[in-house]
Amino acid sequence: MSWSWSELRPMDPYTVRMVEPFSQLHEKALLLLYQPLIGSMAVNLYLTLYYRLERDAYMCDESTHRELMITTAEELPTILDARKRLEAIGLLKTYMQKQNDERVFLYELSTPMLANEFFADPFLGVFLQNRIGVTKFRQIRQRFSTPKIDKHQWEEKTVAFNDVFTSLKDRELNREDREDSEELVGERDRSSLAVNDRQFDFELVKTFLPAFFDHDAMLTDSVKKDVRSLSFVYQLDEMEMSRLMIEAMIGDDTIDIERLRTVVKNWYRHQHGQNPPKLGLRTTADEEAPSPEKPEQMSEDEKMASYYNRISPYELLESISEASVSPPDIKLAESLVHDYKLPVGVVNTLIDYVMRTHDQRLDAPLVQKIAGDWSRKKIKTVEEAMNHAKQEYQKRKQVKDKPSKSINRPSQSKNKKSQQNQDKLPKWLTGERQEEPSEEKRKKAEEERKKFELLLQKYKKGDS
């Protein structure tokens, strides 16, 4: 991953803090439930930080990241990547403070969710099942399970508190006030994984719901939290989610969350089959992708680079084929990310290049050959991938355009087919440049866009 000295340096000191007891059950959950999702390096970093704490101590002495690099035998970018995975999945909180022109980091470890919390979580249980498969998922779940007992067939003999202890005098009940600077171990308000609010627009959802519904009563904080999680996991947009929310309604102002989860899962199975959604890691290219807010200020190449960075390989394949994507193509795309370690945007560039130059076919040997070449050349950005694809295309074109020794001239139909194939290729690949629109054309386009938005708003108001 990309890393800069402004984010973290080897000489930066850090300390570790933990406010919860860590048990064998937590370690078992970390290794069996979390490790398939975040990888062994992230688990190793968690345990390394944890074992910096002395026995019965919940905060350690200060150390430097250089010592952490020596202990883990890893470079700082790898440690930073592992740290961010721990943060994202709720196992670590990172704080920074400036002290005399020096940055000091505080790493606060959180215990992993135990099995009952983990499997009930709307994110983690679904992603783990997809990562390890249904059979292995059931086996692991069984390891955290115990047979149910019908307690109605048993007579409880447990004694009550006052059967053993006597009452205390009021003065014995008084305890020393705890100092504000102290925090008892075990105090923690565990919250579910955070999903960025910007990923889902509830104001837009309201425009798709019937006007007679009490929107504010429907969209309580707890409902919004669950809807946001479901939309993220199952990649639902506001319009589709609003339709499913109506199916899960009880009366005119209440959404049954359990019913909504069932409705969403059934919708997903109908659309995508039995395989649950997968968890993917965002790349630096995803975070640094050009903002699509003002596309008129971007060149054609920048628009394509932004497009490749924003979508998943599955969505790209689906848009090109205009049909369901075959399992071999999905498996090939996943191998480019996991086996060849290519960023998602670079994978999209490679897939689009091969399919457009090979009559919409994803030639696996060619894809793997190019992926190996790009991996060796350490191509990490979409711009670099597009430039290499252009070079490859120009080389192939030069070889194709070389005059043949045969006296037979190419037929008119072959020339026509070649031209048709050329027309299907994106302009960033062929090197063609579109004429830049004049200022007058830009203003006219902006006016047309505003008119369209006004019409759209009127249509929504009339529809509601």
DSSP per residue, 85-115: HHHHTTSEEEEEEEETTEEEEEEEE-PPPPH
Number of Cβ within 10 Å of residue 38's Cβ equals: 21
What's the chain's average pLDDT? 75
Q: What pLDDT is stored for residue 246 in this prediction?
A: 84
> Cα separation of 209 and 302, whole Å?
36
Q: What pLDDT is stored for residue 382 in this prediction?
A: 87
Q: What is the pTM (predicted TM-score) of this model?
A: 0.47
Q: What pLDDT is stored for residue 293 in this prediction?
A: 46
Q: What pLDDT is stored for residue 68 in this prediction?
A: 92
Q: What pLDDT is stored for residue 17 in this prediction?
A: 92
Structure tokens that stand for 302 in this block: 């920048």
Which residue shows structure tokens 């883990």? 72
Low-confidence ranges of the chain (pLDDT < 70): 1-5, 55-57, 160-163, 165-199, 252, 272-298, 321-324, 338, 400-427, 429-464
Main-chain phi, psi angles of 274, to 5 degrees: -80, -20
> Cα separation of 43 and 92, whole Å?
11
Q: What pLDDT is stored for residue 157 in this prediction?
A: 84
Amino acid at 135: T
> Cα separation of 231 and 221, whole Å?
15
Q: What pLDDT is stored for residue 426 in this prediction?
A: 64
Structure tokens that stand for 447 in this block: 């006016």
Strand pairing category for 13-18 and 102-109: parallel
> Cα separation of 39 and 74, whole Å?
14
